[in-house]
Amino acid sequence: MEINNLIEEARRYVANAKEVIQKANYDPELKIYTDSKYIKMAGNTLWNGCLIALDAALQIRKGKGRPSIDKYKEAAGKRDRKLLAAIVAGYDTMHLHMGYDGTKNKKTCDSAFEYATAIIDHCEKLCPAPVCA
């Protein structure tokens, strides 16, 4: 798949996560979501979208299986410190707090969507020029 298509695919994951989180039933009075199942699904979808964009930009995937988060951090640290900061914060928010814990806090979930968008946008800028042109 072409890099531009991977970036668009990553954005599609974000759009899908927005649809999923709507099913979590937001309670405006308490400012929380009421169903952690859909929070977990949305968080995992967001993080998977980010991994697609990171794979496109950092091109560290070699061999079988997925690289660990440490490999992504290492590659981002060598290439772009802002991306590294976004990965660390996004991983905690999307993957751990939403995906594993199923946090119901709306602010946390909103920040996860912001991190996902920021990571994907940044990855688009870092894509190899001949491939992204």
Assigned domain for 117 exists = yes
Cβ neighbourhood burial of 115 (10 Å; 0-12, 13-18, 19+): buried
Work out how many domains the chain is built from and give that number.
Answer: 1
Residue 9 lies in a domain: yes
Q: Which amino acid is it at 118? A: A
Q: By percentage, how much of the chain surpasses pLDDT 70? A: 91
The pLDDT confidence band at residue 1, using thresholds 50, 70 and 90, is low
Range of the domain at 23: 3-128
Distances (CA, A) of 4 to 29, 82, 133: 41, 21, 9
pLDDT at 71: 92
In a domain, 15, yes or no: yes
Rounded Cα distance, 90 and 25, in Å: 23
Average pLDDT of the residues of the chain: 91
CATH number at residue 21: 1.20.120.330
Instruction: Give per-residue pLDDT as tens, 41-54.
Output: 999 999 999 999 99
pLDDT of residue 131: 46
| 133 lies in some domain | no
Position of tokens 């951090």? 73
**Mean pLDDT, range 55-61, rounded to an integer:** 86
* Pairwise CA distance, residues 111 & 48, whole Å: 16
pLDDT tens sequence across 64-110: 777 889 999 999 999 999 999 999 999 999 999 999 999 999 999 99
